[in-house]
Amino acid sequence: MKLLSTKATCNSHGQDSSYFLGWEEYEKNPYDNVHNPKGIIQMGLAENQLSFDLLESWLAKNPDASGFKRDGKSIFRELALFQDYHGMPAFKQALVDFMAEIRGNKVTFDPNHIVLTAGSTSANETLMFCLAEKGEAFLLPTPYYPGFDRDLKWRTGVEIVPIHCTSSNNFQVTEQALQQAYQEAQKRNLKVKGVMVTNPSNPLGTTMSRSELNLLVDFIKENKDMHLISDEIYSGTVFSSPNFISVMEILKDRNDFNNSKDADNIFERVHVVYSLSKDLGLPGFRVGAIYSENDTVVAAATKMSSFGLISSQTQYLLSAMLGDKKFTKNYLAENLKRLKKRQNKLVSGLQKAGISCLESNAGLFCWVDMRHLLHSNTFEAEMELWKKIVYQVGLNISPGSSCHCTEPGWFRVCFANMSEETLKLAMKRLKAFVVESTGNVNGVTTKSTKRNLLTKWVFRLSSRDQRDQQEER
Amino acid sequence: MSLGSESYQLLSKIATNDQHGENSPYFDGWKAYEKNPFHPRKNPQGVIQMGLAENQLCFDLIEEWIKNNPKASICTPEGVCKFRDIANFQDYHGLPEFTSAMAKFMSKVRGGRVRFDPNRILMSGGATGANELIMFCLADPGDAFLVPTPYYPGFVRDLCWRTKVQLIPVHCDSSNNFKITREALEVAYKKAQENNINVKGLIITNPSNPLGTTLDKETLKSLITFINEKTIHLVCDEIYAATVFTSPSYVSVSEVVQEMKCNLDLIHVIYSLSKDLGFPGFRVGIVYSYNDQVVNCGRKMSSFGLVSSQTQYMLASMLSDEKFVDKFLLESSRRLLKRHDKFTKGLEEVEISRFPSNAGLFCWMNLKKLLKEETIEEELKLWHVIINEVKLNVSPGSSFNCSEVGWFRVCFANIDDETVEIALQRIRAFVGKETKKKIEVKRWQPNLSLSFTSTRFDENVLSPHNHIIISPHSPLVRAT
Of B10, B13, B479, the CB nearest to A306: B479
Contact with chain B for residue A260, Cβ under 8 A: no
Contact with chain B for residue A419, Cβ under 8 A: no
Residues for chain B: how many in total? 480
pLDDT band at B446 (very low <50, low <70, confident <90, very high): very low
CB contact under 8 A, A90 and B463: yes
Contact with chain A for residue B157, Cβ under 8 A: yes
Closest CA to A205 of A449, A377, A410, A426: A410
pLDDT digits (tens, 9 = 90+) for B100-144: 999 999 999 999 999 999 999 999 999 999 999 999 999 999 999
Counting residues of chain B whose pLDDT is more than 70, the rounded percentage is 88
> φ, ψ for residue B282 (rounded to 5)?
-90, -10
Q: What number does CATH give the domain A10-53+329-435?
A: 3.90.1150.10
> φ, ψ for residue B81 (rounded to 5)?
-65, -20
Instruction: Provide the CB-side half-sphere exposure for A28 (13 A, CA).
Output: 11
Of A119, A269, A312, the CB nearest to B282: A312
Residues for chain A: how many in total? 473
pLDDT at B363 over 80: yes
Distance from CA of A261 to the nearest CA of B (A): 7
Query: Residue A71, class by beta-carbon neighbours within 10 Å (0-12 exposed, 13-18 middle, 19+ buried)?
Result: exposed
Each domain of chain A, given as residue ranges in start order, spans 10-53+329-435, 68-323
Which whole number is the average pLDDT over B247-260?
Answer: 96
Q: Assign a CATH topology to domain A68-323.
A: Aspartate Aminotransferase; domain 2 (3.40.640)
In sequence order, what are the residues at sequence separation of 6 or more whose Cβ sits closer than 8 angstroms to the Cβ of residue A263? Answer: B1, B2
CB contact under 8 A, A66 and B76: yes
CB contact under 8 A, A284 and B309: yes
> Cα–Cα–Cα angle for B199, B200, B204, nearest 5°?
100
Closest CA to B401 of B132, B144, B135, B147: B147
Rounded Cα distance between B266 and B244, Å, is: 26
CATH 3.40.640.10 boundaries in chain B: 70-320
Three-state SS string over A279-342 comes to CCCCHHHCCEEEEECCHHHHHHHHHHHHHHCCCHHHHHHHHHHHHCHHHHHHHHHHHHHHHHHH
Which whole number is the average pLDDT over A19-41?
Answer: 90
Query: What was the pLDDT predicted at A15?
Result: 67
Which whole number is the average pLDDT over A333-342?
Answer: 98
Strand pairing class (A137-141; A192-198):
parallel
Closest CA to A195 of A212, A208, A178, A211: A178
Query: B201 has which bridge partners?
Result: B145, B233
CB contact under 8 A, B16 and A300: yes
Candidate list A278, A279, A310, A369, residue with the active-site label: A278
| Cβ count within 10 A of residue B82 | 17
Chain B residues within an 8 Å CB radius of A130: 11-12, 14-15
The CATH number corresponding to B70-320 among 3.90.550.10, 3.40.50.150, 3.40.640.10, 3.30.420.40 equals 3.40.640.10
Query: What was the pLDDT predicted at B28?
Result: 78
Of B70, B83, B125, the CB nearest to A307: B125
Q: Which of A83, A95, A192, A193 to mutate to test the interface with B (most CBs of B within 10 A)?
A: A83
Closest CA to B148 of B230, B19, B235: B235
pLDDT band at B476 (very low <50, low <70, confident <90, very high): very low
Which whole number is the average pLDDT over A207-223?
Answer: 96
Q: Is the dihedral of CA B440, B441, B442, B445 positive or negative?
A: negative
CB contact under 8 A, B62 and A263: no
CATH 3.90.1150.10 boundaries in chain B: 25-59+326-432
CA distances to A172, B144, B325 from B200, rounded to whole Å, are 47, 6, 37
Lowest mean pLDDT among A76-85, A182-191, B120-129, B460-469: B460-469
Closest CA to B352 of B337, B367, B342, B341: B367
Query: What was the pLDDT predicted at B464?
Result: 40
Mean pLDDT, chain B, integer? 88
Strand pairing class (B48-49; B392-393):
parallel
CB contact under 8 A, B140 and A6: yes
Query: What was the pLDDT predicted at B173?
Result: 94
Query: B212 has which bridge partners?
Result: none
Contact with chain B for residue A307, Cβ under 8 A: yes
**Which amino acid is present at B320?**
S
Chain B residues within an 8 Å CB radius of A65: 75, 464
Candidate list A163, A220, A233, A266, residue with the active-site label: A233
Rounded Cα distance between A96 and A342, Å, is: 28
Strand pairing class (A73-74; A69-70):
antiparallel
In sequence order, what are the residues at sequence separation of 6 or more whose Cβ sits closer than 8 angstroms to the Cβ of residue A311? Answer: A285, A286, B281, B282, B283, B307, B308, B310, B311
Which whole number is the average pLDDT over B10-17?
Answer: 90
Rounded Cα distance between B363 and B101, Å, is: 31
Query: What was the pLDDT predicted at A63?
Result: 85
Identify the residue with better confidence: A289 or A69: A289
Looking at domain B25-59+326-432, which CATH architecture does it have?
Alpha-Beta Complex (3.90)
Contact with chain B for residue A217, Cβ under 8 A: no
Closest CA to B52 of B365, B466, B361, B461: B361
Of B67, B87, B157, the CB nearest to A281: B87
Which whole number is the average pLDDT over A283-298?
Answer: 96
CB contact under 8 A, B297 and A64: no
Query: What was the pLDDT predicted at B440?
Result: 41
Of B12, B129, B469, the CB nearest to A131: B12
CB contact under 8 A, A129 and B15: yes
Query: What was the pLDDT predicted at A24?
Result: 87
> φ, ψ for residue B116 (rounded to 5)?
-110, 140
What element of type H or E holds B34? Answer: helix B28-35
In sequence order, what are the residues at sequence separation of 6 or more whose Cβ sits closer than 8 angstroms to the Cβ of residue A313? Answer: A68, A79, B281, B282, B308, B310, B311, B314
pTM for this entry: 0.90
Contact between A223 and A192 under an 8 Å Cβ cutoff? The reply is yes
Lowest mean pLDDT among A65-74, B58-67, B73-82, B450-459: B450-459
Query: Residue A184, class by beta-carbon neighbours within 10 Å (0-12 exposed, 13-18 middle, 19+ buried)?
Result: middle
Contact between B132 and B298 under an 8 Å Cβ cutoff? The reply is no
Question: A-contacting residues of B 258-317, CB under 8 Å?
Answer: 265-266, 274, 278-283, 291, 293-294, 297-298, 300-301, 303-311, 314
Identify the residue with better confidence: B369 or A467: B369
CB contact under 8 A, A313 and B311: yes
Query: What was the pLDDT predicted at A451?
Result: 53
Distance from CA of B125 to the nearest CA of A (A): 4
Contact between B138 and A5 under an 8 Å Cβ cutoff? The reply is yes
Question: B-contacting residues of A 146-185, CB under 8 Å?
Answer: 150-151, 154-155
DSSP track, B363-411? EEEE-GGG-SSSSHHHHHHHHHHIIIII-EE-EEGGGGT-SSSSEEEEE
**Which amino acid is present at A248?**
M
CB contact under 8 A, B464 and A63: no
Which whole number is the average pLDDT over B330-340?
Answer: 97
pLDDT band at A23 (very low <50, low <70, confident <90, very high): confident
CA distances to A99, A110, A158, A298, B4 from A294, rounded to whole Å, are 18, 12, 21, 6, 17
Query: B478 has which bridge partners?
Result: none
Could you report how far apart the first and last alpha carbons of chain A are, in Å? 62
ipTM score for this prediction: 0.88
pLDDT digits (tens, 9 = 90+) for A107-124: 999 999 999 999 999 999
Closest Cα in chain A to B475: A84
Contact with chain B for residue A47, Cβ under 8 A: yes
CB contact under 8 A, A129 and B162: yes
Closest CA to B462 of A317, A451, A368: A317
Contact with chain A for residue B480, Cβ under 8 A: no
Closest CA to B409 of B191, B198, B150: B150
Which whole number is the average pLDDT over A265-275?
Answer: 95
Contact with chain B for residue A222, Cβ under 8 A: no
CB contact under 8 A, A306 and B126: yes
pLDDT at A306 over 90: yes
In sequence order, what are the residues at sequence separation of 6 or more whose Cβ sits closer than 8 angstroms to the Cβ of residue B81? Answer: none
Q: Which of B5, B6, B9, B10 to mutate to test the interface with A (most CBs of A within 10 A)?
A: B10
| Cβ count within 10 A of residue A360 | 23
